[in-house]
Amino acid sequence: MMISVFAVMIAKAGKKQQVLEIARANLNTVRAEQGCHEYRLVEDASDAGAFQKKLGEESFAFIEQWESMVALEAHLTTPHMQAYAKNTKDLLEDSAIYVMQSAD
């Protein structure tokens, strides 16, 4: 069963670009992991109009698709993800990780 993840990150004031640089450096390594179907880094669009609800000035998110929960769990234990967590720990204010499965 395909697993979807929507991970919202909130950087401390003035730290968003620093965290994004760390995240960008990890993208290709994560995308090459077994079971990774999608791993994108996104932020608020600047001109989406009045219907848009923004994540916020210091926020960004990861949109992920994993082949299975086993693949996602393996991803979380990789050395590069442990390094990401260590390197961003003091730069993040908060996070919310949503793990979902298909409902259709």
Average pLDDT over residues 71-89: 97
Rounded Cα distance, 14 and 17, in Å: 8
Q: Which of the four pLDDT bands, split at 50, 70 and 90, describes residue 8?
A: very high
pLDDT tens, position by position, 26-69: 999 999 999 999 999 999 998 888 888 989 999 999 999 999 99
Total count of domains within the chain? 1
Partners of 4 in beta bridges: 65, 100
Beta-strand runs (E) in 1-104: 3-11, 36-42, 59-66, 92-101
CATH of the domain at 9: 3.30.70.100
Range of the domain at 29: 3-45+57-101
Q: Is residue 34 part of a domain?
A: yes
**Does some domain include residue 10?**
yes
Look at the pTM and tell me if it is higher than 0.85.
yes
Q: For residues 62 and 9, what is the distance between their CA atoms, to the nearest angstrom?
A: 8
In a domain, 52, yes or no: no
- Using the 8-state DSSP alphabet, how is residue 86 labeled? H
Average pLDDT, rounded, for the chain: 96
